[in-house]
Amino acid sequence: MEEESQDESSEEEEEEECETMTIGESVRDDLYDEKVDEEAEEKMLEKYKQERLEEMFPDEVDTPRDVAARVRFQKYRGLKSFRTSPWDPKENLPQDYARIFQFQNFTNTRKRIFKEIKEKDVEGAEVGWYVTLHVSEVPVSVVEYFKRGAPLAAFSLLPHEQKMSVLNMVVSRHPGNTEPVKAKEELIFHCGFRRFRASPLFSQHTAADKHKFQRFLTADMALVVTVYAPITFPPASVLLFKQNSNGMHSLVATGHLLSVDPDRMVIKRVVLSGHPFKIFTKMAVVRYMFFSREDVLWFKPVELRTKWGRRGHIKEPLGTHGHMKCSFDGKLKSQDTVLMNLYKRVFPKWTYDPYVPEPVPWVKSEISTVPEMDMK
Q: Residue 19's pLDDT is what?
A: 56
| Cα(53)–Cα(260) distance, integer angstroms | 33
CB atoms within 10 A of CB 253: 24
Q: Residue 144's pLDDT is what?
A: 76
pLDDT tens for 258-301 read 999 999 999 999 999 999 989 988 899 999 999 999 999 999 99
Where does CATH 2.40.30.10 sit in the chain?
Answer: 154-261
Which residues is 119 bridged to in the sheet? none
Q: Residue 197's pLDDT is what?
A: 95
| Cα(76)–Cα(90) distance, integer angstroms | 16
* E strand residue ranges, the chain: 21-23, 164-173, 187-191, 194-198, 201-204, 210-214, 223-230, 237-243, 249-260, 265-280, 283-287, 304-306, 311-318, 323-328, 338-346, 373-375
154-261 CATH fold? Elongation Factor Tu (Ef-tu); domain 3 (2.40.30)
Right CATH for 69-82+267-346 from 1.25.40.80, 1.20.1270.360, 2.40.10.190, 3.40.50.300? 2.40.10.190
Where does CATH 2.40.10.190 sit in the chain?
Answer: 69-82+267-346
pLDDT beneath 50, residues of the chain = 1, 23-24, 365-376
Q: Residue 219's pLDDT is what?
A: 87
Q: Residue 324's pLDDT is what?
A: 95
Q: Residue 248's pLDDT is what?
A: 85
Q: Residue 367's pLDDT is what?
A: 44
Q: Residue 40's pLDDT is what?
A: 81
| Cα(16)–Cα(199) distance, integer angstroms | 63
Q: Residue 7's pLDDT is what?
A: 54
| Cα(246)–Cα(270) distance, integer angstroms | 36
Q: Residue 213's pLDDT is what?
A: 97
Full-model pTM? 0.80
